[in-house]
Amino acid sequence: MLDQSWLTIGTEPTEQDRLFLKLKSATACSEDELRAILARSSWCRWHPEVDGIRAAVISLSTLIATNEQPKPDERYCVAIRHDASVKVVVDKDKMNALAHITADWGGKSLTMELLQEAMRLAGVTVGLSPELEHQALRVSLNSAPGTVLQYPVAVGKPAINGSDAFLEPLVETLTERVLKPRQLDHDRVDLRDLGTLSTVVAGTPLMRRHPATPGEAGINVLGVPIQPKAGKEISMSAGDGTLICAEDSNLLLSQRAGMPRLEKNGMVVDDLLNLKTVDAKHGHVDFNGSLVISGDVEPGMKVKASGDIVIGGFVEAATVTAGGSVTIKQGVVGRRTSQGEPTCVVRANLDVTVSFAQYARLEAEQDIKVQNQLSHCYCRAGRSVLVGVSNPRKGVLLGGLTIAGESIESPFIGTEATSHTQLQVLGGFFAIRSQQRDLNEQKAQHTLMLHKLQDLLLKLVQQPASKRDAVLLNQLKEQREHHMQALGQINQELEECDALTQSILHNIHITATQRLYPGALIELADLAYKVDIEHGPSRIGISDGQIELHPWSAPPNGRKS
């Protein structure tokens, strides 16, 4: 009967890692039975040799069939001993090193020396972790024979990019102040009450500049430093009525008493004019500073200020223009002329904020914010148009044409009865496309000149050295270098345009947080989409070169499209 006594390790030096089955008699045995004997033996961790096991079983079957006995030296290799092996592989970004371990087949187990040698051969010098190395060894020792493992043994230190510089206002502006409703008794709110308008005195800190940080360098597992991307700097400029602090160049101070107002990269301190109403009796207003009108602006009137404008009442069929922001606590109401132009126009170099607007023209270089309803208006915002700011479940955008640079958001877009609501989010796409066309034309011109110069240089160098015009040769080389540098700069600018285009296409969107009605005409960059059926909360964006509409759900941290 076949048993473990038939198993023997080779006696020759080259056979020390081989286990043989030495045939003693013609005994019936299957491959599974032979494997079971190996599994119960002292060599259970050795690697079974399939071919040797099969050959031994066939030989035994043949001996039984022919009624013969095995030859004295007849044996078959049925298992082999293998030491554990390890190879350390560094990933593509060279930030992680993985040990590819094969557990031993009855041979030598993985040792720390073998692992560290594999790391040395892979060039891993940084991010070594004794804890990870010991874990890899323990896992290998406790694994079944021949188990293939991948285990991290070194981790690089990623670079930490710097933070962009930013400007922190230290005082409340006129617009921010009046947007806070004054609370009356019994939870009532007086929207026309503009509250106490606090001005600043000379020497008041207005704004602090927080400089960009350089970031922190990293290093990969091969010991190569990784440079961080430094944050973008931003300058802080002193506008009218302000100055940079002599002791602290990152602090902006007021130079005179007045009303602080935000402007690009800084603040100004305006004179402040308070009016009750603007009507025919008062006349048009053109003020160099900030303006507060506690009442209404009557039809036909024009109001202009270099700073912020705050209006506590209504604006009806009038024109309001601000160098800063415009805030209208009540509504903006106009009507269509026979030429189709609105009679009520509100323009701001920063934001326009209104309670509601109807048949009006609203233009803002930054954001247009409508508290409740925007109906049949022409709106153009450099950044975003936001409807339902104070009423996120009931705000409505219907009819008219709304154009934004980054996004349009409203609880309801369109209505069941409104057939056309035009929405465009362009994001500067066409300006970048025009720039790309100009750059490609320049690239073609420089490329053509390079080819011509190359032909001239080739003809020149083919002439005998004695007949070459050395001056002309140097001139041609200089011209070639000029065109090559220009091409390099153009290619870099084209890459930047491509990256900016992809960023625009990824970010521009339109969101209806409650309902999107049919009849809305959507344009995102150069793509168009018509809403044919009613949808619930929806986000319309661009994916893979096409406009796509997807269900929208509010993020847990508040309003964000």
Distance CA 424, CA 402 (A): 6
Q: What is the 3-state secondary structure (H, E, C) of 329-373?
A: EEEEECCECCCCCECEEEEECCCEEEEEEECEEEEECCCEEEEEE
Residue 354 phi/psi, 5-degree rounding, is -135, 160
Per DSSP bridges, beta strands 7-9 and 18-22 are antiparallel
Start-to-end Cα distance in the chain: 78
**Cβ distance 308 to 322 under 8 Å?**
yes
Give start and end residues of each alpha helix (H) in 123-173.
Answer: 130-141
Distance CA 290, CA 309 (A): 6
Q: Is 525 exposed, middle or buried (0-12, 13-18, 19+ CB in 10 A)?
A: buried
Q: What is the 3-state secondary structure (H, E, C) of 64-77?
A: HHHCCCCCCCCEEE
52: helix, coil or strand?
helix
CA 55 vs. chain centroid, Å, equals 62
Q: Quick one: tokens of 317? A: 């069929």
Residue 195 has what pLDDT? 52
Which residue type sits at 295? G
Q: Would you write out the chain's pLDDT as a tens digit for each of its 561 residues?
A: 788 889 999 888 888 899 999 998 888 889 999 999 999 998 999 999 999 999 999 999 999 999 898 888 899 999 999 999 999 999 999 999 999 999 999 988 888 888 999 999 999 999 888 888 888 888 888 888 989 988 888 999 999 999 999 999 999 888 777 655 555 455 544 444 455 566 889 999 999 999 999 999 999 999 999 999 999 999 999 999 999 999 999 999 999 988 898 888 999 998 888 899 999 988 999 999 899 999 999 999 999 999 999 999 999 999 999 999 999 999 999 987 777 678 899 999 999 999 999 999 999 999 999 999 999 999 999 999 999 987 788 899 999 999 999 999 999 999 877 668 999 999 889 999 999 999 999 999 999 999 999 888 888 888 888 888 888 888 888 999 999 999 999 999 999 999 899 999 999 999 999 999 998 999 999 999 999 899 999 999 999 889 999 999 887 665 555
Distance CA 30, CA 158 (A): 57
Distance CA 134, CA 154 (A): 12
Angle, in degrees to the nearest 10, between helices 470-507 and 429-461: 160
From residue 335, how far is each of 134, 203, 326, 341, 403 by CA, in Å? 79, 47, 20, 8, 20
Which parts of 211-284 are beta strand (E)? 218-219, 225-226, 237-238, 242-244, 251-254, 259-263, 266-270, 272-275
Q: What is the radius of gyration, based on Cα positions, of the chain?
A: 40
* Nearest alpha carbon to residue 120 among 87, 155, 151: 87
DSSP, residue by residue, 430-486: HHHHHHHHHHHHHHHHHHHHHHHHHHHHHHHHTS-GGG--HHHHHHHHHHHHHHHHH
Q: Quick one: tokens of 559? A: 């309003």
Rounded to whole angstroms, the maximal C-alpha distance in the chain is 132
240: helix, coil or strand?
coil
Residue 442 phi/psi, 5-degree rounding, is -65, -40
Which helix H or strand E contains 506, and what residues bound it? Answer: helix 470-507
CA 214 vs. chain centroid, Å, equals 20
Residue 173 has what pLDDT? 84
The model's pTM is: 0.68
Distance CA 407, CA 539 (A): 11
Q: Quick one: tokens of 517? A: 């009605």
* Nearest alpha carbon to residue 420 among 520, 352, 499, 330: 520
Which residue type sits at 146? G
Residue 198 has what pLDDT? 67
Distance CA 501, CA 451 (A): 30
**Cβ distance 41 to 96 under 8 Å?**
no
The secondary structure of residue 239, as a DSSP letter, is -
**Cβ distance 528 to 521 under 8 Å?**
yes
Residue with tokens 């079971």: 36
CA 363 vs. chain centroid, Å, equals 29
Which parts of 66-201 are beta strand (E)? 75-80, 85-90, 96-102, 148-155, 166-169, 182-183, 189-190
Q: Quick one: tokens of 222? A: 């091969």
* Nearest alpha carbon to residue 395 among 380, 378, 408: 408
Residue 361 has what pLDDT? 96
Query: What length is written for the chain?
Result: 561
Q: Is 470 exposed, middle or buried (0-12, 13-18, 19+ CB in 10 A)?
A: exposed
Residue 375 has what pLDDT? 93
Please give the torsion angle defined by the CA atoms of residues 324, 330, 335 and 339, in that order, rounded to the nearest 10 degrees.
10
From residue 464, how far is each of 106, 210, 477 by CA, in Å? 75, 65, 18
- Residue 470's DSSP bridge partners are none
